[in-house]
Structure 1
Amino acid sequence: MMCFFSTYLLTCILYLAESSHFRGGIISWKPTDNHQIEINYRVAFRASSGHACDANTIENGTLLPGEGSLQCVEGCSDTITTMSYYCTDFSATEDWTSGTNSIKYNLSASSNNLFTFGFSSCCWIPLVEGSSNWRMRTTANLTVRQDTGKINSSPVSAMQPVVRFSYGCDHTLKIPVSDDDGDVVKCRWSKRTPNDECGGVCETLSGSYLDQSSCVLTYNATQSTGWYAVALQIEDFQKTTDTVPFSSVSLQFLIFVANLSESCASRPFLPQNIITDGSILHSSANKIFNESIIARSGAATLRVTAIDTVSPIGMIKSALFPFGTSGREWFVTVTWTPMKSQIGTHLFCYTAVDNLGQTSDQTCATLVVDEEPNDTVVLNQDCNAFKTPEKVHTKCIEATTGVPKIFYLATSCSSYFVQCNELGTGRIVRCAPGTEWCNHVLTCVHSGSCATEG
Structure 2
Amino acid sequence: MFPAVVLFIKCTDGSYFRGGTISWLPQTNNPSVINSTRAVIINQRYAWLESTVSSVCSPTTILSYGLIGDNTTNKLNCLSSSTTCTTANFPTNLTTLVPCTDYNSLLNMSTGESSLIFNLTVKTDGLVIGYGSHSTDLSWMPLNMINDSALVNISMYLNLSARSDNGLINSSPTTSNPFVIFVQVNVNTSINIPMADIDGDIIQCRFAESSKNYNGITVDECGEVCYSEALPNATVLFSEDSICTLNVTLPSSGYYAVALQLEDFLENATEPLSSVPLQFVLYAYEESNITTNSSTNCTIAPNITSIDPDNPSPGSTVYAAVNVPYTATINAQSGCGIQPNTSIINFLTISPPGMIKTDVPFLESDGSTYGINLLWVPTSDQLGMNYTFCAIAIDINLYTSEQYCFDFMVGPKTTTSGPYITQPITTITTTSTTTTTTGQPVNYLPLEVGLGIGIGLPLLCLLGFIARNYIWRYLFGFLRSIFDSRVGNYRTADDLSLQKMTPPPSRSLDEKDPKKTPDYREQYINEKNSSSSPSNQKQSNLIRRKSASPSTTSAFELGSLSSTTISMFSSTTNALPTDRVEHIASSTTNPLLLGGSILVRAYNKQNDSV
Both proteins in one fold, TM over 0.5: yes
- Judged with a 3 Å threshold, the aligned counterparts in structure 2 of structure 1 residues 283 and 119 are, in CA distance, closer, same or farther, namely farther
Measured in 1, the distance between the counterparts of 2:93 and 2:376 equals 30
1:227 maps onto 2:245 in alignment: no
Measured in 2, the distance between the counterparts of 1:124 and 1:69 equals 18
1:328 maps onto 2:368 in alignment: yes
CA contact (8 A) 2:299 2:399 kept: no
**Aligned match for 1:43, one of 43, 46, 50:** 46
Measured in 2, the distance between the counterparts of 1:275 and 1:208 equals 36
CA contact (8 A) 1:62 1:87 kept: yes
Other-structure match for 2:524 = none
Other-structure match for 1:388 = none
Per-residue CA deviation, residues 182-202 of structure 1 (Å, 9 max, x unaligned), is 322222211223342101111
RMSD: 3.1
Other-structure match for 1:438 = 440
**Aligned match for 2:319, one of 283, 291, 295:** 283
Other-structure match for 1:63 = 67
Q: TM-score, normalised by structure 1?
A: 0.74
1:217 maps onto 2:255 in alignment: no
What amino acid maps onto 2:62 in structure 1? Answer: I
CA contact (8 A) 1:159 1:349 kept: no
Q: Please state how far the C-alpha of 1:91 moved relative to its aligned partner.
A: 0.6
Other-structure match for 1:295 = 332
1:16 maps onto 2:11 in alignment: yes
CA contact (8 A) 2:75 2:94 kept: yes
The 3-state SS of whatever aligns with 1:58 is helix
Measured in 1, the distance between the counterparts of 2:152 and 2:285 equals 23
CA contact (8 A) 2:320 2:419 kept: no
Q: Which runs of 5+ in 1 are unaligned?
A: 378-409, 416-435, 443-454
Q: Which runs of 5+ in 2 are unaligned?
A: 29-36, 83-90, 213-218, 291-296, 422-437, 445-610
Measured in 2, the distance between the counterparts of 1:130 and 1:209 equals 23
What amino acid maps onto 1:354 in structure 2? Answer: D
CA contact (8 A) 1:35 1:107 kept: yes
Mapping of 1:232-243 within 5 angstroms?
Answer: 232-239=260-267, 241-243=268-270
Q: Please state how far the C-alpha of 1:76 moved relative to its aligned partner.
A: 5.0
CA contact (8 A) 2:183 2:282 kept: yes
Larger Rg: 2
Per-residue CA deviation, residues 38-97 of structure 1 (Å, 9 max, x unaligned), is 222111111111111112221232234643213325215675434321100001111111
1:96 maps onto 2:96 in alignment: no
What amino acid maps onto 2:51 in structure 1? Answer: S
**Aligned match for 2:205, one of 172, 181, 187:** 187
**Aligned match for 1:128, one of 128, 145, 159:** 145
Larger deviation, residues 82-91 vs 148-157:
148-157
Q: Please state how far the C-alpha of 1:349 moved relative to its aligned partner.
A: 1.6
Other-structure match for 2:131 = 118
Q: Please state how far the C-alpha of 1:11 moved relative to its aligned partner.
A: 1.1
Q: TM-score, normalised by structure 2?
A: 0.56
Other-structure match for 1:52 = 56
What amino acid maps onto 1:235 in structure 2? Answer: E
1:148 maps onto 2:166 in alignment: yes
**Aligned match for 1:355, one of 396, 401, 412:** 396
What amino acid maps onto 2:66 in structure 1? Answer: T
Per-residue CA deviation, residues 196-221 of structure 1 (Å, 9 max, x unaligned), is 21011111333333332344434353
Other-structure match for 2:26 = 31
CA contact (8 A) 2:363 2:369 kept: yes
Other-structure match for 1:205 = 231
Identical columns (%): 28
What amino acid maps onto 2:330 in structure 1? Answer: I
- Judged with a 3 Å threshold, the aligned counterparts in structure 2 of structure 1 residues 140 and 147 are, in CA distance, closer, same or farther, namely same
Measured in 2, the distance between the counterparts of 1:144 and 1:307 equals 42
Q: Please state how far the C-alpha of 1:16 moved relative to its aligned partner.
A: 2.6
Other-structure match for 1:422 = none
CA contact (8 A) 1:311 1:349 kept: yes
Measured in 2, the distance between the counterparts of 1:162 and 1:10 equals 28
Q: Please state how far the C-alpha of 1:324 moved relative to its aligned partner.
A: 4.3
1:265 maps onto 2:260 in alignment: no
Measured in 1, the distance between the counterparts of 2:397 and 2:111 equals 22
Measured in 1, the distance between the counterparts of 2:4 and 2:122 equals 14
Measured in 2, the distance between the counterparts of 1:96 and 1:111 equals 41
CA contact (8 A) 1:94 1:162 kept: no
Per-residue CA deviation, residues 133-165 of structure 1 (Å, 9 max, x unaligned), is 221100011013243342112122123222221
Other-structure match for 1:369 = 409
1:72 maps onto 2:85 in alignment: no
The total of aligned residue pairs comes to 379
CA contact (8 A) 1:171 1:219 kept: yes
Measured in 1, the distance between the counterparts of 2:342 and 2:14 equals 37
Q: Please state how far the C-alpha of 1:275 moved relative to its aligned partner.
A: 4.5
- Judged with a 3 Å threshold, the aligned counterparts in structure 2 of structure 1 residues 361 and 43 are, in CA distance, closer, same or farther, namely same
CA contact (8 A) 1:16 1:70 kept: no
- Judged with a 3 Å threshold, the aligned counterparts in structure 2 of structure 1 residues 411 and 302 are, in CA distance, closer, same or farther, namely closer
1:318 maps onto 2:320 in alignment: no
Answer 1 or 2: which has greater strand percent: 1
Q: Please state how far the C-alpha of 1:266 moved relative to its aligned partner.
A: 4.5
Measured in 2, the distance between the counterparts of 1:76 and 1:285 equals 44
- Judged with a 3 Å threshold, the aligned counterparts in structure 2 of structure 1 residues 364 and 183 are, in CA distance, closer, same or farther, namely same
- Judged with a 3 Å threshold, the aligned counterparts in structure 2 of structure 1 residues 111 and 245 are, in CA distance, closer, same or farther, namely closer
Other-structure match for 1:309 = 349
Measured in 1, the distance between the counterparts of 2:375 and 2:195 equals 23
What amino acid maps onto 1:226 in structure 2? Answer: G
Measured in 1, the distance between the counterparts of 2:331 and 2:236 equals 30
Measured in 1, the distance between the counterparts of 2:147 and 2:195 equals 26
Per-residue CA deviation, residues 76-119 of structure 1 (Å, 9 max, x unaligned), is 56754343211000011111110012333442499963222124
Measured in 1, the distance between the counterparts of 2:145 and 2:255 equals 6
Larger deviation, residues 356-365 vs 154-163:
356-365
What amino acid maps onto 1:36 in structure 2? Answer: A
- Judged with a 3 Å threshold, the aligned counterparts in structure 2 of structure 1 residues 260 and 334 are, in CA distance, closer, same or farther, namely same
Measured in 1, the distance between the counterparts of 2:132 and 2:121 equals 22
1:346 maps onto 2:371 in alignment: no
